[in-house]
A and B are shown apart, each in its own frame.
Chain A
């Protein structure tokens, strides 16, 4: 019989206990928008499914005293999009989250799930990586924090150990004159997996010179990339056309994509540069208006 054990614990500790003690394959159920499809097709055959949506703290989105944010791993995209302060501080992160599916998927899909599904094309992840977000991981040995880009290690695989799961994602406090943006290329306007995604997060000084930048690319390598060379192309510049051209070239150069049903190596490489440039312009303009 192809069923599984289903548990919906009320606390993080209980969830860790279940996951750590599981015999066979255990899966965490957050929004379920990936897991249920895998259950249907037979791609996932878990023995235990742990639903984390009944853990109160995992559904919270809260601001920290320092001005950052903690997003519970089971908060759905729709709630993230409705969080006005978050959307104001991190519009790029939020637009990445809101691009996962359309309205119905938004009612369920979570950033924690998107991160741990470990698809290189996950729309939420580049924005988080560019933002310098931290994943809070609970496990049998207590909690630990890692940069989000450390969570996925290859398509469908994460660095989480048995019994561990992501409980929250932390966004740092927002400096003045900062902005971020995420863009992706899909053949339709909605309901597609990104062929390429690009997120840019930057901070300007009072003169408009870029002092800090992070650039992240999706769907151009086995995992979402953090591209230092692309960020360096922006830092110290006014994010003018010359800098943007360098950024685009660095982004394209960082790509290690594959040919697949969604796009070609050539296309992904080229469009990664285009999207990085366009996202940088949006981030720059947001930073300028965020004085």
Chain B
């Protein structure tokens, strides 16, 4: 099971305040589908932000693998200057 962490505001807005989930997912695509099934409407918000998998911020992730012991954080979008 990978440890999935939503930002507080998404937890508040979609998941009744819960932000931490242990999920059995293969990759980011699978993760987002799974979360969308759990919390309808969350996917478009998640896709507009960034994701860190195992301490690395990944631009525009989708096919990136998630390992059973991975830690995944959803982050606000980061724009550079």
The short answer to whether A and B are in direct contact, CB under 8 Å, is: no
Interface residues in chain A, defined as those with a beta carbon under 8 Å from any beta carbon in chain B: none
